[in-house]
Each structure stands twice: as C-alpha cells, then as structure tokens.
A = this chain, B = another copy of it.
Amino acid sequence: MNVVFIGIGLMGGSMSLAMKKNNFAKNYQAISRNVTTLKKAVELNLIDSHGTFQELVPNADFIVLATPIDAIINQLPMVLDLIKETAVVIDLGSTKKSIVDSVVNHPKRKNFVAIHPIAGTEYSGPESALADLYENKTCILCDIEKNTPIILNKVKELLHLLKMNLVYMSSSDHDLYLAYVSHLSHIISFSLSNTVLNNKENSKEILNLAGSGFASTVRLAKSSPEMWLPIYLDNKQNIIKAIDGFTTKLLEIKTAIEKNDSKKIVEFLYNGNKIGKILK
C-alpha cells in the first residue's frame, strides 16, 4: 500500500512515524511546496521519497491531507479528481464544515473521510514530529454517513492502530465545540502574550517573574500563525460566539472584584474548580 502525505509537518510527520511503527503501509511519500521540508522529512525518515501532485496522487492508496485548512480546501477537490476508485483520503484539519462543503457534490465524496485528531504541540515542522503524538488521544470523525463502509473501515483500522479514541459527530457540531475547547484557548493565550509583551516599559521585569502558571496559560501562544490564521477566518462565527461567552465571564469576575463581592468571587472560583473533576 502507498501512503501519500500532502504536507509533512508536525501532524503529517507524526502520523507517518506512527504508521511506520505499526507497519500500516509499504511506501510513504510526500508532496509539499516547501523543498526544505521535503528534504528534512526524508532525512528524518518520516517518508521514503517525495514527488509532485500529478506523480503521486493517481497511484496513492491512502492520502493524508496535512496542510493548513485553507490549503486543504483548495487541494481536496483536485485530489478527489485524480485518485483511483478505491483510494482513501483523509484530512487532519482543525475545522471541518468548509472542508466537507468543498467536495459536497464530488462524485468521489465517499472516498473522503473528514477527521480531526485532537493532538498537537505548540511546535511545527517535520523536526517536531512525534511517533506517539496520537496515542490515547481523541479523534473526531465527521459526517461519516457520506462514506462507504469499506472506506470508513480502512480509516478506523488506521485510527485503532494509532490507539485513538473515536468520536462521531456532524461537521457543524464539530466546528462549534472546537471553537470553545481549542480555538478559544489559543486566542486567549495569544492575547495574554500580547498583553504582557505590550507592556513596553516593564515587560522584561514582568517576564523574569513568570512561573509555571503563566507558562502553562501562555504556552499555546507559541503556535504557528500559518496554521491558525485560516482556522480563525474559517470558523469565525463560532469563535466570535466563544470569545463573547468568555468576555462575559471575565467581566463577571472583574465586576465582582471591583465591588469586593466575596460571595460572588468564591462562587465563581468554586464553579471554575469543577473543571478538575471533569478533565483528568
């Protein structure tokens, strides 16, 4: 079996390492506009070789789209145009609705399974790939009623090899939920970083005092702008809703502090504590 990656950074590279570890396929190839990335990926043994879109896509048995989502939306229809009748196509994008919409009427829509593995780090590029990135993490599969059982089973087989926990939902629900549980966290981290760095006269003094708490809250601000810009634009409506919900809560605690309203503050903090019982 030939696996072809379109994009071979953190997400694609980690999947390739995990596939190799589990003998999922025979050949691993990649396509990328970035020649340095391709060279690095061969050097790091993430892939065996690389080629062009026209060379690799028509012969692929399993294609993984692991580029930023704006690129996925462009590439996916072209991929479906070129693939074999039996080929399986997945994408690893962080939003799903626009991606599935881009091929809604394509005759090979059934070959494409829209997934979102909830895994990642704040680093990017092939050198940040990790063979165990996906292990014991959640993978969301969207709109699977559009797929044939054979195609879907091939994807499930891979995800089980990767030791992922599978969750199913519509691409619309996915985008709404992820706005709260992922996209909002990134916006908050980026905003916190900008707040402290903006404090020109004393940001150095402030940052020298940073403890593990600040580091944890601001960690995601190290994430790739190339990856996040298209997510923010694509999932705009849900993200604005999530930011507004968060701003309301922030204003609630701010007002309680301003008014010395101990009862309200304590209530807010205890309610916040409940997250500890829900998240492991």
A162 at the interface (CB under 8 A from B): no
Count A-side interface residues using an 8 Å CB cutoff: 89
How far apart sit A181 and B204, CA to CA, in the bound complex (Å)?
11
Are A216 and B210 in touch, CB under 8 angstroms? no
Cβ-neighbour of A225 out of B205, B257, B266 (below 8 A):
B266
CB distance from A279 to the nearest CB of B (A): 6
A184 at the interface (CB under 8 A from B): yes
Cβ-neighbour of A228 out of B176, B228, B269 (below 8 A):
B269
Are A205 and B232 in touch, CB under 8 angstroms? no
Interface stretch, picked from A14-22, A103-111, A239-247, is A239-247
CB distance from A174 to the nearest CB of B (A): 8
With A253-B190, A273-B225 as known contacts, state yes or no: A199 contacts B180, CB within 8 Å. Answer: yes
Residues of chain B within 8 A (CB-CB) of A278 are: 197, 207
Are A195 and B242 in touch, CB under 8 angstroms? yes
With A236-B257, A269-B228 as known contacts, state yes or no: A213 contacts B182, CB within 8 Å. Answer: yes
Are A209 and B178 in touch, CB under 8 angstroms? yes
How far apart sit A32 and B132, CA to CA, in the bound complex (Å)?
46
Closest to A202 in B: B177
CB distance from A204 to the nearest CB of B (A): 8
A260 at the interface (CB under 8 A from B): yes
Residues of chain B within 8 A (CB-CB) of A184 are: 192, 195
A97 at the interface (CB under 8 A from B): no
How far apart sit A188 and B243, CA to CA, in the bound complex (Å)?
12
A140 at the interface (CB under 8 A from B): yes
Q: For chain A, what secondary structure do more than half of its interface residues adopt (helix, strand, loop), or is it mixed?
A: helix
With A239-B257, A258-B240, A273-B225 as known contacts, state yes or no: A216 contacts B216, CB within 8 Å. Answer: yes
Q: Please indicate which of the listed interface residues A176, A216, A247 has the most CB atoms of chain B within 10 Å of its own CB.
A: A216
CB distance from A244 to the nearest CB of B (A): 8
Cβ-neighbour of A232 out of B257, B272, B273 (below 8 A):
B257
A142 at the interface (CB under 8 A from B): no
Are B198 and A192 in touch, CB under 8 angstroms? no
Q: Please indicate which of the listed interface residues A194, A236, A262 has the most CB atoms of chain B within 10 Å of its own CB.
A: A194
Q: Mark A114-158, 1 if CB is under 8 A from B, else 0.
A: 000011111000000000000001101000000000000000000
Cβ-neighbour of A188 out of B120, B210, B250, B279 (below 8 A):
B250
Are A181 and B197 in touch, CB under 8 angstroms? no
Residues of chain B within 8 A (CB-CB) of A1 are: none
> Which A residues fall within an 8 A CB radius of B?
118-122, 137-138, 140, 167, 169, 173, 176-178, 180-182, 184-199, 202, 205-223, 225, 228-229, 232-233, 236, 239-240, 242-243, 245-250, 252-254, 257-258, 260, 262, 265-266, 268-276, 278-279
